[in-house]
Amino acid sequence: MGSQNIDSGSLIVLHCIIHQEALCAKTINFQHVTNIPVKAVNFIWSRGLNHREFQQSMADIDAEYSDVKYFCEVMWLSKAGMLKRAYDLLEEIELFLDMKGDAIPELRDKEWRCDLAILVDITDCLSALNVRLQGKDQLINEMFSLIKGFQIKLRVWESQIRNQNPAHFPTLKNHDTSNLQYQKYGDKLAVLREEFSERFGDLKKHSQAIEVFASPFSVDVTAIPEDIQMEIIELQCNDELRKKFDESSVYQFYKKHVSVTVYPKLSAHARKK
């Protein structure tokens, strides 16, 4: 592991992680899929009468859901909830549009439905990641761990899909998988994986600095910059502080237990996170 410069005197500057994740999500580019449910949902919501009639039709057949979700383009990840609801109500939406004389042929197409199914699964995963990234009091090391974990998941998903294994795509598994275009889906996941790698490259560059902050008692002293090595050695040999670290959150540990006088460089480093 090569040493990275840990400058305790300046802040680490990163692009907004949550915004970068949302931009990654936009690269999936399943426009031929998303345009159809967006068109259908917008038709239902476009007039009050259409919307009320659709809600009533859901009530009449005792559907699991009573309505479809409106899609806001500004909040891209709102698409995840809209797509899932649209998928679950495909039959009802198709029936309603037929009744209104505004049928959409794609809703009956098996390949298009499979494309929608995997898109539902992918956007659901992206949305779940987005929610976790917005958790309260998130520190940079926690967000970095979430991004690293998701990138590993993408590699696993891509490999499995290319090997005709949709194990982690529950919506897609509901379909006849004998004629699935696995390589096409693998290519989509590859694009998403590459986008994550590119957009979070600057975060990866700071991985060593983040490790020093998040795991000061287990970091390899010989692999970190010399200017902070002596403080880390002293810290790692302090059994009382090790116990405090195990019992506290990372934030509370640095705030309450790491002396600025004894560990000036480590304290300054922690303040950047």
pLDDT tens by residue, 177-196: 777 889 999 999 999 999 99
CA pair distance 198, 203, nearest whole angstrom: 10
- Residue holding tokens 């991985």? 207
- Are the beta carbons of 95 and 107 closer than 8 angstroms? no
Task: Please measure the distance between the N-terminal and C-terminal CA atoms of the chain and give it in whole angstroms.
Answer: 21
**67 dihedral zone (left: phi>0; alpha: psi -120 to 50; beta):** beta
List of residues 6+ apart from 14 with CB closer than 8 A? 140, 202, 203, 206
Among 20-24, 162-166, 224-228, 258-262, which is the least confidently predicted range? 20-24
Mean pLDDT across 197-201: 86
Q: Considering Cα of 225, then 214, then 216, then 2, what sign does the dihedral take?
A: negative
Higher-pLDDT residue of 7 and 99 is: 99
What's the pLDDT at 51?
Answer: 47
> Quick one: pLDDT band at residue 2, thresholds 50, 70, 90?
very low
Other CB atoms within 10 A of residue 25 CB: 22
Per-residue pLDDT at 77? 53
State the average pLDDT for the chain: 80
Q: For residues 41 and 87, is the Cβ–Cβ distance under 8 A?
A: no
Are 188 and 177 in contact by the 8 Å Cβ rule? The answer is: no
Q: Would you say residue 19 has pLDDT above 80? A: no
Q: What is the mean pLDDT of residues 252-258?
A: 94
Q: Helix, strand or coil for residue 72?
A: coil
User: What average pLDDT score do residues 74-98 get?
Assistant: 75
What is the model's pTM? Answer: 0.76
Q: What distances in angstroms separate CA 250 from CA 181, 213, 244, 273, one per listed residue?
A: 45, 8, 10, 11
What is the percent of the chain where pLDDT is above 90?
41
Q: Is the pLDDT of residue 222 over 90?
A: yes
Higher pLDDT residue, 237 or 26? Answer: 237
| Position 102 pLDDT exceeds 50 | yes
Q: Which pLDDT band holds residue 28 (cuts at 50, 70, 90)?
A: confident
